[in-house]
Amino acid sequence: MNKNSFIYWIIIAILFLCLLGAVAMILIQRSQGGLSLPFLTPAQSATAVSADASPAAPSAKVTIVMPKTSVSPLLATSTPEASTAGTKPAACGQQGSQTYLIVARDASFWESPYGADAIRLAHVNFDATTASIISLPRTLVVSTPKLEAAYGIKTSQLGDIYALVIQREGGRDSPEANLKAVEALAQAVYDNFGVAPQHYFVMKENSLWKTIDALGGVQVSLPQALQISGISYPAGAQTLTGERAQWYARHLPSNASEWDRLQRQDLLLSGIKQRLAEPDILLKVPALYQQFQSSLITDLNLEHITQLACVGQKMSSGQMTVEALPQKMCTPGQNGSLKLSDLQSAQQWIASKLGQ
C-alpha cells in the first residue's frame, strides 16, 4: 500500500472527497457536538462523560461510558485531547490527538453493494505531527448487537450499515438520517475494534469527480492497463479527469479482491496529494471549503480543518502511514463478503496502527 498518501488527503482531499468511490451530502453538524454512540451500555471499571445526543435536540443529554483505558473520553468534546504537561507547544493551534471516521458513500446507493463505499479510520497526533490511516473493507461482516433494538441489525457488512440506517431514519436526503447512519457505523467500529472516533467526514456521491475536475485533473502512473465500463486506461503516466478517476477508484471486478481496489484508491490519493501540495491550492483552503461544503457531512468547522491542513504541511513522508487491514486476517464469506478469522488479532493490529 502507498504509505505517503495521507497528508493532504486528510486536509482538503477529505474535504472534497478524495476518498475513493465518492459519496454523501450536506454539512450537517459543526463543532458543537461531535459523534455520539447512543447505544453504548455501561462497562465495568468505566468512566462516564456527557455529550449532546442529537443536533436536533441540543438540550438532550446522553451518558456515554468508556473504559478507563481508552485513548480519550468518547466524543465528549469537539476539541483534541489535552496534552500532558511539559509537552512541546501546540502544533497549528491544537494539542493531543484525534481519531476521525471517514466515509465515502456509494453513488449507486440503492444497489448492492450499497451504503458506505469506502471506510477509513485516521488518527492524527498534533503534538508529534504524525498521522496514521487504515482502510477497513466495506464488505467486512461485523456483529452489531447495540444496533439490533433500534434498527434490527444484528450482523451486517460495514458498508451496508450506513444505508440500512438511512432507510430507517428517513432517507439519504435527510441530514438527521445521515447523522444517525454515521453514528451507527461509528458504533459498529467501536463495538468490534475498540476504536471510538471523535469526529467524522462523510463524502457526497460524485464529489470525487467534481473535485478532481476543479483541480484540473490528477496525474497518476498506472502499473497496468485496464478496461473499465468501456473506458480504456493505458499503463503508465497519465492525467485522469474526474469521471475517469471515479471509475478507476470504484472498479471491483468479480475476479478481484477488495485489496486490489484499495491499492488503486491509494494510488489515486497519492496523485491528488501531489496536486494539493502545490502552493496555489493550499492558499485556497478556506475558499475551497466554502465551495465544496455541500459535498460533505462533518462535525468539524473551518478552523479545525485548517489546523489539519497546517499539521499535514509539517509532516514528512515518514510521519504518516496509510495501510489496509491485512488480507490474511479475513476469510471469504457469502456474496463477496469477508469475515475476520481472528477478531482479537485484528483489534490489536488496528490499535497498534492508530497509536492506541
Residue 338 has pLDDT above 80, yes or no: yes
Across residues 145-172, what is the average pLDDT? 89
Helix axes 258-276, 242-250, angle to 10 degrees: 150
Once rounded to an integer, what is the mean pLDDT over residues 125-133?
88
Collapsed DSSP state (helix, strand, coil) of residue 254: coil
Terminal Cα distance for the chain, rounded: 22
Instruction: Determine which of 124-133, 163-172, 315-324 has the lowest per-residue pLDDT on average.
Output: 315-324
- What pLDDT digit, counting tens, does each position of 47-70 carry? 222 223 233 332 222 222 222 322
Any residues with CB less than 8 A from the CB of 326 and at least 6 apart, and which? Answer: 349
329 confidence band (pLDDT: 50, 70, 90): very high
Radius of gyration of the chain (CA): 19
Is 131 exposed, middle or buried, given 0-12, 13-18 or 19+ CB atoms closer than 10 A?
buried
Length of the chain: 356
How far is Cα 61 from Cα 52, in angstroms, rounded to an integer?
5
Taking residues 276-305, what's their average pLDDT? 70
| Homologous superfamily of the 9-353 domain (CATH) | LCP protein (3.40.630.190)
The structure's pTM equals 0.68
User: What pLDDT does 19 receive?
Assistant: 32
pLDDT digits (tens, 9 = 90+) for 16-32: 433 332 222 222 233 33
| Confidence band for 192, pLDDT divided at 50, 70 and 90 | very high
Q: What is the mean pLDDT of residues 174-193?
A: 90
- Give residues with Cβ within 8 angstroms of 250, minimum separation 6: 20, 21, 22, 107, 117, 261
Let me know if 46 is exposed, middle or buried by CB neighbors in 10 A (0-12, 13-18, 19+). middle
* Average of per-residue pLDDT across 26-49: 38
Mean pLDDT taken over the chain: 70
Spell out the domain ranges in the chain: 9-353
